[in-house]
């Protein structure tokens, strides 16, 4: 009996194709009201090519040439640009030791301590010739480059710095206090505050029509115990909203209301309905999760993120449900469906950011979620509209690339890859990243480098476009740096071995891109931190650390090249930017985290200065003539 073929749609989606009877459409196509076709030709298995074949290296060379062309396009706009080709010719005559002293390989049976949770966001990214920088061997290598004792793992970054005592328990609120909401007028005023804050574009979970219905439900007089229990999610939404707006009021200097108490009440109510998913419960969870993330409560925020991801799937948000014509009599139900889908995209974007920064597996993945695009009208729109309900400040399509990066570069399987596999994966992701960038509307399209004197934002940009432009620019730089700094996992050769010419060139091109993106990130914060508004703390926490580490590692490897001093100056300026944030607007959590970030970057500055000024570093005669990064600031 011949094997039954799947229809074109089910084959593409890789799902089971169930055809009830010959000649009839399959269940999936029939349910979604789409044609059920069998037009594709016979599929043949492709033979795998050797990873290091001449064709592979030819592809890498072609992609490097394209990267060099892109980086050279803006050379006239910089005062420090030199020819990449000339610098590459100079590099190709040098031995691998010109990248710095090669650490001795670790014994086969030596166990490496597992990274602490606090620094896992940094551990997986920083390597030098296959050696992990934040490891005992890495500390020895850094000490050899600086002449100083190095222990960067003592810093607690992006986690709770001061843990509560083991005996501490969440505050107890009498039931009457939990259900006694602020005045209804104050809550509608809070909605107005939220809608007029720039942060609304980063947190698009408040559908204005649906949320007003939620508020009305929260303030209704319950007739019995059942109706009172149905009000719990709505009341959690109200308390979470007040937590967020009280925080905004403090940032704006309009008072010092207790936002944390409101957040604790919202969390207590959510715990009562955690096993009953609903749109209101999901909205309250996301509001509270973002309140905690914006305030530096990373661990608490991560736990709520996991709950939100599970809940949005329970509500069906991970499936795209196209509308089958207008259903006027069911308007609110259709609006709820669209809102849940929008919240899925919000969770999806946040999930990839957390996964890429923390090294934890993503929770919402392509294999189990319908990533049909476009998901909703208005997402990443280039137009001004009166309704901002479903507009996101970040692009889910970039998050799809991040998901691939997690799988191809940072999964357990990826860490077993050989150099050629790593390089091919980086180039594949880079091509997709460039295609994504070119698809962004020109008014908010991110650039690798912003020439001095050229404004980042168009003068007539709307608030939404300003937020989108800033987020896309910083997120693009972060993604470029994260993808291309992974290339330092390659080149774990013996001291008497030399990398193949082609791979050597590819590695250095990736290094150049990661450094340029990081320089642009820190340069942005140095000149434009004021336009970040109430989200400045989170921007600094998420983007400055990554960029600072890229430049710090490069300074240690090449302390004598001409660009080292300017990169050192950017690190120093980053400290000044962080210290310049008004403490009046910060919570205790935020103050503690910023102080720890400041201490960390100050330590990078101290060690970088030691490396630049220390005479007699091994192979310094190579570094003294190394100007290969002078082509930066070029696009």
Q: What is the DSSP string of 10-44?
A: HHHHT-----SSTTSPPHHHHHHT-----------
Burial 83-96, CB ≥16 within 10 A → b, else e: ebeebbeebeebeb
* The two structure tokens encoding residue 124: 């997986």
Summary mean pLDDT of the chain: 76
Q: Report the 10 Å Cβ neighbour count for 328.
A: 6
Contact 34, 9 (CB under 8 A): yes
Average pLDDT over residues 156-160: 57
Closest CA to 544 of 582, 509, 581, 570: 570
HEC states along 92-115?
A: HCCCHHHHCCCCCCCCCCCCCCCC
Which stretch of 146-160, 470-484, 544-558 has the lowest confidence by average pLDDT?
146-160
Judged against a pLDDT cut of 50, whether residue 91 lies above it is answered with no
Q: Which residue has the tokens 């960067």?
A: 152
Mapping DSSP to helix (H, G, I), strand (E, B) and coil, where does residue 377 land?
coil
Judged against a pLDDT cut of 90, whether residue 203 lies above it is answered with no
Q: Cα–Cα distance between 72 and 632 in angstroms, integer?
A: 9
Judged against a pLDDT cut of 70, whether residue 105 lies above it is answered with no
Higher pLDDT, 205 or 579: 579
pLDDT in tens, 179-192: 889 999 999 888 88
Cβ contacts of 506 within 8 Å, gap of 6 or more: 60, 61, 63, 64, 423, 427, 487
Q: Report the 10 Å Cβ neighbour count for 230.
A: 16
pLDDT in tens, 568-618: 999 999 998 888 876 666 777 788 888 888 999 999 999 999 998 887 665
**According to the per-residue pLDDT averaged within each range, which of 93-107, 237-251, 371-385, 413-427 is highest?**
413-427
pLDDT at position 156: 66
Q: What are phi and psi of 541, to 5 degrees?
A: -60, -40
Judged against a pLDDT cut of 80, whether residue 405 lies above it is answered with yes
Q: What are phi and psi of 280, to 5 degrees?
A: -65, -40
pLDDT at position 610: 92
Task: Give 48: exposed, middle or buried? Use CB within 10 Å, 0-12, 13-18, 19+.
Answer: exposed
Q: Which residue has the tokens 């590695």?
A: 507
Q: Which residue has the tokens 């993120």?
A: 305
pLDDT at position 401: 97
Q: What radius of gyration do the chain's Cα atoms show?
A: 26
Q: Cα–Cα distance between 435 and 626 in angstroms, integer?
A: 32
pLDDT in tens, 418-429: 888 999 999 999
Average pLDDT over residues 377-386: 46
pLDDT in tens, 34-74: 888 888 766 554 444 444 455 655 666 666 566 556 555 54
Q: Cα–Cα distance between 54 and 43 in angstroms, integer?
A: 27
CA 21-40-439 angle, to 5 degrees, is: 120
Contact 593, 583 (CB under 8 A): no
Helix ranges (H only) for 463-500 are 463-485
Which stretch of 91-105, 373-387, 587-601 has the lowest confidence by average pLDDT?
91-105
Q: Cα–Cα distance between 344 and 317 in angstroms, integer?
A: 5
Domain positions in the chain are: 1-36, 181-376
Which stretch of 72-86, 396-410, 459-473 has the lowest confidence by average pLDDT?
72-86
Judged against a pLDDT cut of 90, whether residue 234 lies above it is answered with yes
Judged against a pLDDT cut of 60, whether residue 350 lies above it is answered with yes
pLDDT in tens, 262-282: 999 999 999 999 888 999 999
Judged against a pLDDT cut of 80, whether residue 20 lies above it is answered with no
Q: Cα–Cα distance between 398 and 189 in angstroms, integer?
A: 35
pLDDT at position 151: 80
DSSP code string of 534-570: GGHHHHIIIIIHHHHHHHHHHHHH-TTSTTHHHHHHH
Q: What are phi and psi of 104, to 5 degrees?
A: -70, 145
Q: Cα–Cα distance between 60 and 501 in angstroms, integer?
A: 12
* The two structure tokens encoding residue 126: 């920083």
pLDDT at position 205: 62
Check whether the bond before 53 is cis (ω within 30° of 0): no
Closest CA to 209 of 44, 65, 338: 338
Higher pLDDT, 122 or 566: 566
In angstroms, what CA-CA distances link 40 with 1, 10, 14, 27, 44? 21, 12, 14, 19, 12
Q: Cα–Cα distance between 464 and 381 in angstroms, integer?
A: 9
Average pLDDT over residues 20-35: 79
Contact 250, 259 (CB under 8 A): yes
């Amino acid at each position: 009996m011949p094997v039954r073929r799947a229809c074109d749609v089910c084959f593409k989606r890789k799902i089971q194709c169930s055809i009830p009877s010959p000649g009839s459409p399959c269940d999936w196509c029939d349910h979604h009201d789409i044609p059920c076709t069998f037009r594709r030709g016979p599929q043949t298995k492709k033979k795998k090519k050797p990873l290091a074949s001449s064709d592979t290296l030819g592809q890498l060379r072609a992609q490097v040439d394209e990267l060099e062309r892109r980086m050279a396009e803006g050379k006239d706009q910089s005062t420090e640009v030199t020819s990449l080709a000339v610098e590459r010719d100079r590099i190709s005559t040098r031995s691998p030791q010109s990248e710095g002293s090669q650490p001795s390989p670790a014994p086969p049976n030596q166990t490496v301590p597992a990274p602490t949770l606090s620094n896992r966001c940094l551990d997986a990214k920083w390597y030098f010739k296959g050696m992990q920088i934040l490891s005992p061997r890495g500390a020895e290598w850094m000490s050899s480059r600086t002449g100083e004792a190095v222990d960067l793992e003592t810093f607690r970054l992006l986690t709770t710095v001061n843990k509560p005592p083991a005996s501490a328990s969440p505050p107890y609120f009498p039931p009457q206090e939990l259900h006694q909401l602020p005045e209804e007028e104050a809550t509608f005023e809070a909605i107005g505050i939220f809608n007029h804050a720039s942060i609304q574009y980063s947190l698009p979970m408040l559908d204005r029509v649906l949320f007003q219905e939620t508020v009305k439900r929260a303030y209704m007089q319950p007739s019995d115990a059942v109706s009172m229990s149905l009000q719990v999610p709505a009341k959690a939404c109200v308390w979470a909203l007040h937590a967020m707006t009280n925080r905004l009021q403090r940032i704006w200097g309009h008072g010092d209301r207790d936002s944390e108490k409101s957040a604790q009440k919202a969390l207590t109510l959510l715990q009562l309905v955690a096993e009953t998913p609903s749109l209101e419960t999901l909205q309250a969870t996301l509001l509270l999760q973002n309140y905690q993330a914006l305030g530096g409560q990373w661990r608490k925020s991560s736990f709520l993120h996991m709950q939100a991801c599970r809940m949005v799937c329970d509500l069906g948000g991970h499936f795209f449900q196209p509308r089958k014509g207008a259903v006027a009599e069911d308007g609110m139900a259709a609006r709820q469906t669209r809102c849940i889908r929008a919240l899925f995209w919000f969770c999806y974007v946040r999930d990839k950011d957390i996964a890429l920064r923390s090294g934890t597996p993503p929770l919402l993945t392509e294999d189990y979620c319908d990533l049909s695009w476009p998901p909703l009208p208005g997402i990443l729109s280039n137009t001004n509209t009166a309704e901002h309900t479903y507009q996101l400040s970040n692009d889910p399509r970039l998050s799809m690339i991040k998901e691939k990066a997690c799988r191809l570069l940072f999964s357990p399987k990826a860490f077993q890859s050989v150099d050629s596999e790593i390089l091919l994966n980086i180039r594949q992701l880079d091509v997709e990243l460039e295609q994504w960038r070119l698809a962004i509307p020109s008014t908010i399209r991110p650039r690798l480098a912003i020439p001095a004197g050229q404004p980042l934002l168009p003068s007539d940009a709307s608030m939404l476009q300003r937020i989108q432009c800033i987020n896309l620019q910083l997120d693009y730089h972060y993604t470029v740096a994260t993808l291309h700094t992974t290339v330092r996992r390659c080149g774990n050769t013996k001291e008497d071995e030399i990398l193949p010419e082609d791979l050597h060139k590819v590695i250095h091109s990736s290094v150049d891109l990661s450094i340029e993106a990081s320089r642009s990130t820190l340069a942005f914060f140095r000149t434009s931190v004021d336009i970040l508004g109430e989200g400045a703390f989170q921007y600094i926490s998420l983007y400055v650390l990554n960029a600072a580490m890229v430049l710090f590692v490069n300074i240690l490897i090449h302390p004598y090249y001409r660009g080292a001093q300017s990169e050192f100056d950017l690190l120093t300026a980053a400290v000044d930017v962080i210290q310049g944030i008004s403490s009046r607007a910060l919570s205790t959590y935020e103050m503690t985290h910023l102080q720890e970030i400041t201490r960390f970057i100050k330590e990078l500055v101290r060690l970088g200065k030691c490396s630049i000024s220390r005479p007699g570093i091994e192979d310094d005669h190579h570094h003294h003539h190394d100007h290969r990064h002078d082509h930066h600031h070029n696009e």
